[in-house]
Structure 1
Amino acid sequence: MQAIELFEDYVSWLRVNVPRAYENLAPPADRDDIDRLECVLGQRLPDDVKAVLMRHNGQRLTDTATHDEDGAVPCIPTLSFLSTGLIEECWSEWVDLREMDDIEDLQDDCEAMSGAEGRVRPLYTSPGWIPLWSDPARSDYIGLDFDPDSDGIRGQIINFGRNEDRHFVCADNFTELLQILLDEVRSGQWPASTLVFDEEKGREIAVFGNVEDGVGHPFFGDIDEHFFNALCSRAMARSGIDLSDWENS
């Protein structure tokens, strides 16, 4: 299937199963939005990425590590779907970091996970890494890799960010990522939820089902079951690697 067909199927699933996320999808990006982003990045975006952004340009309300909006509901399970403007903003935040005196120490302290060696460069940051989906609270992303290692594919989808110093390949391209997304939500593992503060645990937890009006705020999935982990598990399975063995190594 083409990317836009997969995305339309995903949007249809959202409308029925996570209506608050569906309602938070933004209007389409226009050609000027795409052209501006490509100019800033110095990269031409893949056609499948542009097709999706020109259907829904991220979210109406979006949370990222440096950008908070009250009432933002993730439009990807546990993750924010970035608009062209927020892709530019998140990417630009790393420009100054790459010019820091100690950046080489950070670059040298990263690795490609099993199955991704030779495909993802073992770096902390690269200007060729373009965020598409973001953790709502941390500078961690799923996005395009335009700077692959020798055996990688330009435009492959990887994890990267402040806390993502072990990299894996989520998918060979964005269309494949959309198929994974659709398969994941259809599995029933990522229902609509509400985040409420748990006094005993001293933090927010996800509650499924009905809650009292005015209690908590809408969410998508379980805050303790990050979508990064689902993508990592799938990447390890494709490589024939037992994730538990890797985590204990």
Structure 2
Amino acid sequence: MNEWIVLREKIESKFPALIDVINNESNVESLNKIADLVGNTLPQSFVSIYANCNGQFCTKAGFVFGLSLLSTEKIIHELNVWREIIDQGLEGLNESCSSLTPSAIKIEYANTKWLPLLGDGGGNFIGVDFDPGPTGTKGQIINFGRDEDDKCVFAKSLDDFLVLLTELLNSPSLVEEEDGSYSYNHTHFIDALKELSQK
């Protein structure tokens, strides 16, 4: 089963205003560049997303609980930006970081093997972790970015994360916003997932 297709169809069914948000032109050609940048083979579920589309149009409302599905071009841009930040040195930045899922995520501000998938437009992301901590799982889904010092594992794989998102679309905490998008209880989705994962 293609979990992305299931999720996409459910979102577009529940929130028709988002039907034209997704860029339907796929861009699998860029995936080799992304794999090279993170130094890892990409999960099949990640490849399947970009065989179906190339993220969303950046001028539209966030497709996934207010977060934007990044295009491959945007992913490559973000990976290069974060690589530059890491190359300049993270002195003092790592000290404020934590892993809310104990030992599962490396205590780092940034890592070249964190692959962004969803973004809030402010430098914060949900993505794939190819360099987990001692008790983590390679390919786990975590939060990271400019304001995300406290990191958390949201799912052990991208497939599991897509299933979780689909399940959350049935939650009574789902709220339709004025622009036709939706949120989880009017909360920034990364924060909402942190709260849910700590229960």
TM-score by length of 2: 0.91
Decide whether the 8 Å contact of 1:193 with 1:222 is kept in 2: no
Q: Percent identity?
A: 24
Letter in 1 for 2:112: P
- Taking a change above 3 Å as real, the CA distance of residues 172 and 222 of structure 1, as seen in their structure-2 partners, is closer
Match of 1:186 among 167, 170, 175: 170
Match of 2:197 among 227, 230, 235: 235
Q: Give the corresponding residue for 1:40.
A: 37
Matched, 1:22 2:27: no
Q: Give the corresponding residue for 1:162.
A: 146
CA deviation string 1:161-200 (max 9, x = no partner): 1110011100000011011100111224334322xxxxxx
Higher relative contact order (CA 8 A, sep 6+): 2
Match of 2:160 among 163, 176, 179: 176
Match of 1:87 among 70, 75, 78: 75
Q: Give how far 1:223 is off.
A: 8.8
CA distance in 2, matches of 1:90, 1:125: 12
CA deviation string 1:75-119 (max 9, x = no partner): 101101111111111221112211225x12101221111xx1211
Letter in 1 for 2:176: A
For residue 52 of structure 2, give the secondary structure of its aligned residue in structure 1: coil
Match of 1:112 among 99, 103, 111: 99
The structure with the largest alpha-carbon Rg is 1
Decide whether the 8 Å contact of 2:28 with 2:50 is kept in 1: no
Unaligned runs of 5+ in 2: none
CA deviation string 1:122-153 (max 9, x = no partner): 111111111100013x1111001011011111
1:125-140 equivalent positions in 2, closer than 5 A: 125-136=110-121, 138-140=122-124
Letter in 1 for 2:143: N
Aligned residues: 199
CA deviation string 1:29-60 (max 9, x = no partner): 2431222322333322111111122112210x
Across the aligned residues of Structure 1 and Structure 2, the Cα RMSD in angstroms comes to 1.9
Unaligned runs of 5+ in 1: 63-68, 195-216, 238-249
Decide whether the 8 Å contact of 2:39 with 2:113 is kept in 1: no
CA distance in 2, matches of 1:176, 1:75: 18
Decide whether the 8 Å contact of 1:22 with 1:75 is kept in 2: no
Q: Give the corresponding residue for 2:85.
A: 97
Decide whether the 8 Å contact of 1:156 with 1:171 is kept in 2: yes
For residue 117 of structure 2, give the secondary structure of its aligned residue in structure 1: strand
Letter in 1 for 2:193: L
- Taking a change above 3 Å as real, the CA distance of residues 146 and 222 of structure 1, as seen in their structure-2 partners, is closer
Decide whether the 8 Å contact of 1:29 with 1:56 is kept in 2: yes
